[in-house]
Structure 1
Amino acid sequence: MISLLLISCNSTPKKSYLPESIGAINSLAIVIDNDLWEGAVGDRVRQHFAAPVLGLSWEEPLFTINQMPAKVFSGSVLSTRSVLFIAKDTLSLSHIKTDMYATPQKVGVIKGTTEEEIIKNLDTKADEMIKAFKDLEIGEAQKRFLISLNKEKALEEKLGISLSIPSIYKVGKEEDSFVWIDRQIQKGSMNIIAYEVPGNHFKSNATLVADIVNMRDSIGKQFIPGPTVPGKTTYMITEKAFSPYVFPAEISNRKAAEVRGIWEIANYPMAGPFLTYIINDEENDRKIVIEGFVFAPATEKRDYMFELEAILKTIKFTDSQKPLEASIK
């Protein structure tokens, strides 16, 4: 019996435990030798992974890059959450590995026998890698929210939805079908608004962008006033000089539109970036609109907007039978 027990214990498979990954949100470790980094390969890497984020007031890169040669990529640095490894090799390949040295972790690998081949592989795989890194960073940000969540019920009671929102955010305004939640930051505020419109609100793809602008401007005029200026009416509108970017999206397993652009205040010099999701709720013949926008003059806003994006992507529909009598027209 003792022999059988010993055999049984020895045959138990050993579990592999990985350390928890580390790194600031939106940081990317790029492991590449200095000669490649300083040449055409490095230029193409920066073109992809340090490209400007769409819809910000001024140019800020997708990721904060930390470049290092392979010999430095050791010890605790192996636990970096998002890693891009690029090398000249006898092989030509491009792929993404998960949880190689830590968890959660994504490691993009690009190799080629020549610089031209490395660049070709990079061009082929860059968009997929950017999405993998961004999804990982969104997940990490959302995990950090769970430490302390806002427990107010305004979104659920007014709109039949919920968001995982850090407790530092507070409800500032709520109407029948409109909720405004915000938090104060050092030089301004971060804001989330949510409302609903009828399911047939957008009539045609040909006029979609103009209809989105009109919707936002109408909501701004009704609910989001600007500073008091004698003799003038001030409220939030979509910046007139540039049309917003509109992309198809999927949020909470529902078809949606993603809108990125700049807001401004009518009749007052104030502006900033916004991100809007317009989500189909066919069960209730409505569309739910959730938006994050930042006011932070003379301040970089990438990470603020990223936090708002991570919050908006936690949306859940909690009421499948919500009536629509109070929908904003």
Structure 2
Amino acid sequence: MKTNFWIVSLVLISMTWMACESSSGSNSNSTKPKARGSIGEIILVIDSAKYAGPVGDALKDIFESDLPGMIRSESKFKVNTVDPRAMTRMLRMSTNLIYVTTFDDRGSASQVINSQFSKESKEKALNDPSLYSLRVEDEFAVGQEVLYLFGNTEPQLIENLKKNAARLQNLFEVRERGRLEKAILARKSSEANNEAKNNLGIEINVPVSYQIAKSEPGFLWVRQPTPTANRADISLFFHVEDYVSEEQTFPENILKIRDSITGKHVFGDPEDPTSYVVTEKQIVPAFRNMVINDNFTTEIRASWKTNNLSMGGSYLGYLMIDEEKGKLYYIEGFVYYPNEVHRDALREIETILLKTDVSWTPEEGA
């Protein structure tokens, strides 16, 4: 493949990264094999010496930074590095591939990647230091994302990586949520959705494998009924109350709202009233404001424990405000998976909760 920098120019100069067209579209009739790889996995193809230096540090900050609010350190993505000279047909079929190089690197590993760029392409990059990436869909397999990250020199590449860290991270976060959505929401629970509509006035989308654990006016709890050694115990709950003041959206008040809900409804052991769930205050919760479906939303990533210290885990929650309805919604997914990685379960929770429509009305849903 000779990389076409005209595509790169369109992507980066116009700054329309997420809306850009890839250099090859998906083709359901393609004779290429299907891409393979677990959710959240990235194959990073790079010279080992470069990865051990400043370029590697910049890449780690993007793809291997810790998830906030966790009891244990867990990276955002599962990154596996591969020497370009060791690439096999199987590795080229990976779902997420990132090639990283600089054109001044004369090492044999980087030269393997550099050989894929034409002389004209390299000259164009030399004349425009803002060019640093190229996305190609389905290059070696169907359903694949291939990203080339490059620079004339290491300092130039590092500068571009730091400037565009959030975009690069978001590219794979959105992509992996999309992949996961297709897998887990192919069959949805109509029972849970109908209960949410009737009880809370919202529309939710949860997999059919989730069952209703508790439903009371203004509150709904659903969970996976059969967690296993290879499957986390995931619970989701949904709550609604009146929105009366902006102060309700302050971080300290969000935690109070959250803990008042779990203190009343969520117990590690329903037979033990002291086992109600609270936020783990020793781990600093992380808050992020956003807008979802025109509704002001605050995301919370934090850890939880039972009041009697018998259980604990991590959680991801969203406080959503519908000013037109005058309602505040708090929706959350929490994980119980002792001594195991929570990243995949949290990504599942995120995928499900972001499909919640708090602005739903009977007229619209009819």
| TM-score normalised over the length of structure 1 | 0.83
Q: Please tell me whether residue 209 in structure 1 is matched to residue 223 in structure 2.
A: no
Structure 1 residues 201, 73: closer, same or farther in 2, change over 3 A?
farther
The alignment-based identity, stated in percent, is 25
Give the whole-Å Cα distance in 2 for the aligned partners of 1:264 and 1:170.
23
Q: Is the 8 A contact 2:188 2:206 kept in 1?
A: yes
- Which of 265, 268, 273 is residue 223 of structure 1 equivalent to? 265
- Which of 79, 90, 102 is residue 88 of structure 1 equivalent to? 102
Structure 1 residues 151, 16: closer, same or farther in 2, change over 3 A?
closer
- Which of 176, 186, 200 is residue 147 of structure 1 equivalent to? 186
Q: Is the 8 A contact 2:316 2:333 kept in 1?
A: yes
Counterpart position of 2:113? none
Q: Is the 8 A contact 1:32 1:69 kept in 2?
A: yes
Counterpart position of 1:177? 218
Q: CA RMSD in A?
A: 2.5
- Which of 334, 337, 345 is residue 296 of structure 1 equivalent to? 337
Give the whole-Å Cα distance in 1 for the aligned partners of 2:220 and 2:271.
25
Give the whole-Å Cα distance in 2 for the aligned partners of 1:318 and 1:282.
10
Structure 1 residues 228, 281: closer, same or farther in 2, change over 3 A?
closer
Q: Any stretches of 5+ residues in structure 2 without a counterpart? A: 1-24, 104-121
Structure 1 residues 316, 228: closer, same or farther in 2, change over 3 A?
closer
- Structure 1 or 2: more helix by fraction: 2
Aligned counterparts, 1:1-329, within 5 A: 17=27, 18=30, 19=32, 20-73=34-87, 75-89=89-103, 90=122, 91=125, 92=129, 93-101=131-139, 102=141, 104-152=143-191, 153-183=194-224, 184-186=226-228, 189-203=233-247, 208-227=250-269, 233-317=274-358, 319-320=360-361
Give the whole-Å Cα distance in 2 for the aligned partners of 1:98 and 1:200.
48
Deviation per CA, 1:127-182, whole angstroms, max 9, x where unpaired? Answer: 21111001000010001123332221211221122332222211110001100000
- Structure 1 or 2: more strand by fraction: 1
Q: Aligned partner of 2:228: which letter?
A: Q
Structure 1 residues 253, 105: closer, same or farther in 2, change over 3 A?
farther
Q: Any stretches of 5+ residues in structure 1 without a counterpart? A: 1-14, 323-329
Counterpart position of 2:15? none
Give the whole-Å Cα distance in 2 for the aligned partners of 1:68 and 1:114.
21
Deviates more, 1:271-280 or 1:63-72: 63-72
Give the whole-Å Cα distance in 1 for the aligned partners of 2:328 and 2:236.
17
Q: Aligned partner of 1:234: which letter?
A: S
Q: Is the 8 A contact 1:195 1:290 kept in 2?
A: yes
Deviation per CA, 1:255-302, whole angstroms, max 9, x where unpaired? Answer: 211111111111334221111111122231102211000111111111
Counterpart position of 1:5? none
Q: Aligned partner of 1:170: which letter?
A: Q
Q: CA deviation at 1:81?
A: 2.8
